[in-house]
Amino acid sequence: MSANPVTRRDCLAASGVVAGWLAAAAQTDAGYSPHHIALSSGIKQSLCRWCYGRIPLDELARQAAKIGYQSIELLGSPEEVKTVMEAGLTCAVYGRVDIVNGFNRREHHERLVQQLKKNIDVAAEFGLPAVICMAGNRTIKGQTISDEDGLKACAEGLKLVMGHAESKQVTVLMEGLNSKRDHRDYMYDKTAWGVDLCKQIGSGRFKLLYDIYHMQIMEGDVIATIRQSKEYIGHYHTGGVPGRNEIDESQELHYPAIVKAIQDTGYQGYLGQEFIPKRDPIASMEQAFKICS
């Protein structure tokens, strides 16, 4: 007799495991990969193109799709969008932008409005959900603007675009960055400032790009902020703190809990992986995907 006899409960548990495995195998045979099974209950994940600049875009898209990613974002041309679509992916956030010279200066509005409208048109043509814009720096060429005046200028400039975004059903995102370490003097460096801007613009097609890495550096309290500001957030970015590298156990943020908090808000958008890999980039892409699944 075995020292640990098998019980009826053990048999039922084992049969459940086998049944689950057989169901998964059947789905795989029917044309579904294991990643499709995982994604049915997980958050949609995207890669930020600039973090993998040394990998040709077509190869990056192929590897990303193989892992289970659904998007490569921050692309800068229709040709790049076509390339990722050929791999079965989309571009969750379209556009490349000037971080320093943003909407907080009225003298930039004409150029930025024209650029943003063109990007909205590209997004609408390819069925992409969002485009990106930036607030800009507080001080340029020795001239400093207050956060209050910059907020008013951003609202004025972006209101010139929102009618076009609404008609094309494309969301305009503004990204918050840390001004402590990576983007010194950048104006939108606190979530509350971004929320105030959303309220001034008053359009459901203007949202915040909440970058977890940047906001952990500036204000911390990530999960509470996500819960409090959920109606104003239209996209998320990741990154390990400190260093903006892999989002694993080597850093201070616990991404499984953060992703769960995001999902608990009812969020249906994408999570953009925006870390700079220190190790093999494909292996790090796959690790991050699993951590956030």
Q: What is the pTM of this model?
A: 0.86
Question: 130: which residues sit within 8 A by CB, 6+ positions away?
Answer: 92, 93, 94, 123, 170, 171, 172, 173, 207, 234, 235
- pLDDT of 110 reads 98
Asked if the model's pLDDT at residue 36 lies above 90, the reply is no
Range of the domain at 52: 42-291
Q: Is 274 assigned a catalytic role?
A: yes
Looking at 175, 219, 231, 249, which residue is catalytic?
175
Q: Are residues 155 and 176 in the same domain?
A: yes
Is the pLDDT score of 40 beyond 70? no
| Length of the chain measured in residues | 293
The structural domain count of the chain equals 2
Q: Which of 73, 80, 246, 274 is catalytic?
A: 274
215: in domain: yes
**pLDDT over 70 percentage in the chain:** 86
Identify whether residues 203 and 81 lie together within a single domain. yes
Same domain for 26 and 72, yes or no, is: no
Q: Which residue has the higher pLDDT, 33 or 186?
A: 186
Active site (annotated) includes residue 125: no
pLDDT at residue 119, as a whole number: 98
pLDDT, tens digit (0-9, with 9 covering 90-100), for 122-140: 999 999 999 999 999 999 9
- Are 134 and 197 found together in one domain? yes
Could you read off the pLDDT of 148-190 as tens digits, one per residue? 999 999 999 999 999 999 999 999 999 999 999 999 999 999 9
pLDDT for 13 = 39
